[in-house]
Protein backbone atom coordinates (compact mmCIF):
# COMPACT_ATOMS: atom_id res chain seq x y z
CA UNK A 1 0.00 0.00 0.00
CA UNK A 2 2.77 2.42 0.85
CA UNK A 3 4.34 1.94 -2.59
CA UNK A 4 1.01 2.70 -4.25
CA UNK A 5 0.66 5.82 -2.11
CA UNK A 6 4.27 6.95 -2.59
CA UNK A 7 5.03 6.26 1.11
CA UNK A 8 2.17 8.39 2.43
CA UNK A 9 1.02 7.35 5.89
CA UNK A 10 -2.52 6.04 5.94
CA UNK A 11 -5.00 6.00 8.81
CA UNK A 12 -6.79 2.66 9.10
CA UNK A 13 -10.54 2.18 9.34
CA UNK A 14 -10.28 0.49 12.73
CA UNK A 15 -7.85 3.07 14.12
CA UNK A 16 -10.21 5.90 13.24
CA UNK A 17 -13.22 3.94 14.51
CA UNK A 18 -11.47 3.43 17.85
CA UNK A 19 -10.71 7.15 18.10
CA UNK A 20 -14.26 8.18 17.15
CA UNK A 21 -16.12 5.45 19.01
CA UNK A 22 -17.80 3.75 16.04
CA UNK A 23 -17.20 2.94 12.39
CA UNK A 24 -20.41 4.85 11.58
CA UNK A 25 -18.62 8.06 12.60
CA UNK A 26 -16.11 7.77 9.74
CA UNK A 27 -16.39 9.23 6.25
CA UNK A 28 -15.04 7.21 3.32
CA UNK A 29 -12.86 10.12 2.20
CA UNK A 30 -11.00 9.98 5.52
CA UNK A 31 -9.66 6.48 4.94
CA UNK A 32 -9.59 6.05 1.15
CA UNK A 33 -6.52 7.52 -0.53
CA UNK A 34 -5.78 7.54 -4.25
CA UNK A 35 -2.32 6.41 -5.31
CA UNK A 36 -0.35 5.38 -8.38
CA UNK A 37 -2.49 5.14 -11.54
CA UNK A 38 -5.57 6.16 -9.54
CA UNK A 39 -5.56 2.99 -7.44
CA UNK A 40 -7.78 3.55 -4.40
CA UNK A 41 -6.27 2.26 -1.16
CA UNK A 42 -7.87 1.58 2.21
CA UNK A 43 -6.11 0.08 5.22
CA UNK A 44 -8.43 -1.97 7.43
CA UNK A 45 -6.13 -2.20 10.45
CA UNK A 46 -6.51 -4.74 13.20
CA UNK A 47 -6.17 -5.46 16.89
CA UNK A 48 -2.93 -5.43 18.81
CA UNK A 49 -1.04 -8.74 18.47
CA UNK A 50 -2.55 -11.37 20.76
CA UNK A 51 -5.71 -9.34 21.37
CA UNK A 52 -8.94 -9.74 19.43
CA UNK A 53 -9.60 -11.22 16.01
CA UNK A 54 -8.16 -9.68 12.86
CA UNK A 55 -10.84 -11.38 10.76
CA UNK A 56 -13.55 -9.46 12.57
CA UNK A 57 -11.70 -6.23 11.84
CA UNK A 58 -11.50 -7.09 8.17
CA UNK A 59 -15.24 -7.83 8.07
CA UNK A 60 -15.97 -4.49 9.80
CA UNK A 61 -13.81 -2.64 7.26
CA UNK A 62 -15.34 -4.44 4.26
CA UNK A 63 -18.87 -3.77 5.53
CA UNK A 64 -17.96 -0.10 6.00
CA UNK A 65 -16.65 0.07 2.43
CA UNK A 66 -19.77 -1.61 1.03
CA UNK A 67 -22.15 0.64 2.98
CA UNK A 68 -20.32 3.77 1.81
CA UNK A 69 -20.14 2.90 -1.89
CA UNK A 70 -16.42 2.21 -2.11
CA UNK A 71 -16.96 -0.64 -4.59
CA UNK A 72 -18.93 1.44 -7.08
CA UNK A 73 -17.24 2.29 -10.37
CA UNK A 74 -14.26 -0.04 -9.87
CA UNK A 75 -13.04 -2.67 -12.30
CA UNK A 76 -11.10 -4.83 -9.85
CA UNK A 77 -10.79 -5.27 -6.08
CA UNK A 78 -7.67 -6.76 -4.50
CA UNK A 79 -7.13 -7.60 -0.84
CA UNK A 80 -3.63 -7.72 0.63
CA UNK A 81 -3.65 -9.66 3.91
CA UNK A 82 -0.94 -11.20 6.06
CA UNK A 83 -0.23 -14.74 4.94
CA UNK A 84 1.73 -15.93 7.95
CA UNK A 85 -0.94 -15.43 10.62
CA UNK A 86 -2.39 -18.57 12.17
CA UNK A 87 -5.76 -17.04 12.86
CA UNK A 88 -8.90 -18.73 11.60
CA UNK A 89 -10.54 -15.32 11.60
CA UNK A 90 -9.06 -14.57 8.20
CA UNK A 91 -11.44 -17.18 6.78
CA UNK A 92 -14.45 -15.12 7.93
CA UNK A 93 -14.51 -12.82 4.87
CA UNK A 94 -14.40 -15.89 2.63
CA UNK A 95 -17.27 -17.58 4.47
CA UNK A 96 -19.37 -14.43 4.13
CA UNK A 97 -18.67 -14.20 0.40
CA UNK A 98 -16.60 -11.02 0.76
CA UNK A 99 -13.44 -12.40 -0.83
Give the structural domain span for 23: 13-95
More confident residue, 8 or 3: 3
Is residue 30 one of the residues assigned to a domain?
Answer: yes
Which pLDDT band, with edges at 50, 70 and 90, does 40 fall under?
Answer: very high
Residue 75 lies in a domain: yes
The answer as to whether 77 is a domain residue is yes
Residue 5 domain-assigned?
no
Q: What is the pLDDT of residue 88?
A: 60
Indicate the number of domains in the chain. 1
Q: Residues 56-74: pLDDT tens digits?
A: 778 888 899 999 999 999 9
Residue 4 domain-assigned? no
- In tens, the pLDDT along 23-39 reads 999 999 999 999 999 99
Predicted structure pTM score = 0.77
Residues 27, 47: Cα–Cα separation, whole Å: 21
Give a yes or no: residue 39 inside a domain: yes
74 inside domain:
yes
Asked whether the predicted pLDDT for residue 21 surpasses 80, the reply is: yes
Residue 82 has pLDDT above 80, yes or no: no
Amino acid sequence: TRLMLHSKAQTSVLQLAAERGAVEDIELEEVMLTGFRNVRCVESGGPEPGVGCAGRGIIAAINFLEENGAYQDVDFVSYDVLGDVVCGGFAMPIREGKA
